[in-house]
Amino acid sequence: MTAIAERPVSTGRPPGPPEAASRAAESARGHLLALQDPAGWWKGELATNVTMDAEDLLLREFLGISDPRTVEQTARWIRSQQRADGTWATFHGGPAELSTTVEAYVALRLAGDRPKDAHMAGAAEWIRANGGLEATRVFTRIWLALFGLWSWDDLPAMPPELIFLPRQVPLNVYDWACWARQTVVPLTIVWHYKPSRPLPFGVDELRTGLVPGPAPDEDRISTFFRGLDRWLHRYEKRRIPVVRRAALRQAAEWIIARQEADGCWGGIQPPWVYSLMALHLMGYPMDHPVIRAGIAGLDGFVVREETAQGPTRRLEACQSPVWDTALSLVALADSGSGPQDAAYASGIDWLLGEEITVKGDWSVRRPALAPGGWAFEFANDGYPDTDDTAEILLALMRARNPDGEPVRERRIRAAMDRGLAWVEGMQSKDGGWGAFDADNTRTLINKLPFCDFGAVIDPPSADVTAHIVEAYAALGKGHSPAALRGVRWLLDHQEQDGSWFGRWGANHVYGTGAVVPALTAAGIAPSHPALRRATAWVIGHQNLDGGWGEDLRSYVDPAWIGRGDSTASQTAWALLALLSVAETPSAVTPELRAAIDRGVLYLAETQRPDGTWDEDLFTGTGFPGDFYINYHLYRLVFPLTALGRAVDFYSVAAHTADYDVVEST
């Protein structure tokens, strides 16, 4: 890696792409280094939507721990996110979303806002015009039922006996993705008790009186499950008490066994709140260590901010210090850091301390596999993931130092060996990798009546598989059988237009930006048809301003694929794809060179004076089509990575070609 050159003296004319890349990388690098925690880690905020905050207020009301200050500050935040038409969305600039708007409305009613207030009346009018409470998702209606605003009889059945199904039987809890199973198990306890704690108000102003029927295109499996749901409701009236008690006890034990050291469940909001409610309903007192730790842990996810209207309070749905630290280290390495640099070394040391050495739910399908790898969060030992582990392997590889202290070098090597062995063992049968589980691919579960809240399984995805293939290549194992199977999986899953679908980032720009570097690292030549098509797709979707962007609506509307306002993170993903192809000099056509130059100039021209970028648009994905994330550090680490690699590209290219300034339009 070429070190970032010192900033040259200004000549009075706009810098060309090579100089612009060097200057922008230097500034971004300085900003990133300043964000490192003294302990060695990095963490940016994960912004989501107001359902997190609405449900937090409702949870506190349900548990009887609400306080005026929390309600006031959270309500102020929820109001600040309302749009002119009275609605709330699931991502910045996105379309209005019914369930999100309903939950925000109910939370504001809880805070004392009145139906006749202009902002509330506007929301209610929109809700009624778009189907009312009757058209909301199941999880929203569960929240309503908790407070007597909806009938439990009109919700899908979720019997606790689900916990008894062996893993060989379809619909067992391990058929669900890890985030879904941790949500469903406590919900079965809540469904058993069917609590109703009335609020001092109703929400009849949100009803239409119409009951939605089955979807017109409902298939036979969905029809069967609707019939099964009716049978389960009848069974509920004749359930066997001893079996039900055993199911509740086993479900509660399952939940408690999965609480993390910081009090959370899975490091994410949904299983956290439902687990607290479930145990509370089972009779666990508020001062019980499990409940007390769970509630206290929520405070670590709170973001407070002073605004002109007063202090606000919002809740992160998740935190990503391990992921952010790995990405930051890769960015620093790509912009000139070496293993001897203090910031890099402290980051590596912190990551080494985060390695997971115990078995989790992943071992249900891989019982003989030794533990290894890393999770996403500060505390989530039960659920390491292959994506984080792959990025950390890339960072650890850069930390190897032949002249370094022998004990530390052996520690790094051993962690890499364990991590790679664990990742290899987590490969699915088809050659790809999911994030948290292997072979979590039974789609039957998607047909259940209460599965309307996003992704509920964790099948292999292109972005995760690509990161792992790239790690194999970096470790010199790109031709191992597992890596070759991963390469074949990627080639087989290229979209017809030449792109790849992005499961955990928005969307085809993210997927393609991950896969192309992985394939080139694995030895696939830029002349390969798959890479030629991918390169053409990336270049063909560059915006007039030189950047790239893709609106999150591309997950539900193909017309948005590859289209959207330019962002720093998505421009960086596109550049990473093009720069990886450009590592082969013969592949650098004038069209490719121009696209790289224009992308670099876009980043340089939109960079803030402090070295980072503004990025209000969400580019992270939780559940495609339903839940999205704005990773605040993405706007910095990915551009720095791309700019660092661009500096290398220009350094090599300077010996073989003259580069003219490409004016941005």
The single-letter code of the amino acid at 272 is W
The DSSP secondary-structure symbol of 163 reads G
Indicate the SS3 state at residue 473.
helix
Other Cβ atoms less than 10 A from the Cβ of 92: the count is 15
Give the whole-angstrom CA distance, residue 361 versus residue 96. 36
Query: Shortest CA distance to 206 belongs to which of 249, 268, 143?
Result: 143
Other Cβ atoms less than 10 A from the Cβ of 69: the count is 10
End-to-end CA, the chain: 31
Asked if 337 and 3 touch (Cβ cutoff 8 Å), the reply is no
HSE-up of residue 627 (Cα within 13 Å, Cβ side): 19
Q: CB neighbours of 410 closer than 8 A, spacing ≥ 6?
A: none
Q: Which residues of 171-194 are buried (b: 16+ CB within 10 A; e: fewer)?
A: ebbbbbbbbbbbbbbbbbbbbbee
Output the six-digit token pair for 60: 């506190």
Asked if 356 and 382 touch (Cβ cutoff 8 Å), the reply is no
Q: CB neighbours of 381 closer than 8 A, spacing ≥ 6?
A: 260, 261, 356, 358, 360, 375
Query: Shortest CA distance to 475 belongs to which of 525, 421, 526, 540?
Result: 421
Q: What is the 3-state secondary structure (H, E, C) of 537-591?
A: HHHHCCCCCCCECCCHHHHCCHHHCCCCCCEHHHHHHHHHHHHHHCCCHHHCCHH
Q: Taking CA 412 as the corner, what is the angle to CA 411 and CA 414, rounded to the nearest 5 degrees?
A: 65
Q: Which residue in 175, 334, 387, 388 is the catalytic one?
A: 387
Give the whole-angstrom CA distance, residue 444 versus residue 222. 9
Give the whole-angstrom CA distance, residue 482 versus residue 6. 42
Give the whole-angstrom CA distance, residue 641 versus residue 1. 11
Q: Please give the full DSSP string across 196-246, using - where no structure is assigned.
A: ----SS--GGG--S------TT--HHHHHHHHHHHHHHHHHTT--HHHHHH
Output the six-digit token pair for 318: 């998740």
Indicate the SS3 state at residue 109.
helix
Give the whole-angstrom CA distance, residue 193 versus residue 188. 9
Concerning whether 229 is annotated as a catalytic residue, the answer is: no
Asked if 190 and 142 touch (Cβ cutoff 8 Å), the reply is yes
Secondary structure element (H or E) that encloses residue 28, with its range: helix 17-34
Q: Is 625 left (phi over 0), alpha (psi -120 to 50) or beta?
A: left
Query: Shortest CA distance to 499 belongs to which of 526, 522, 532?
Result: 532
Query: Shortest CA distance to 598 belongs to which of 663, 657, 548?
Result: 663
Q: CB neighbours of 429 closer than 8 A, spacing ≥ 6?
A: 439
Give the whole-angstrom CA distance, residue 458 versus residue 467. 16
Could you list the active site residues?
387
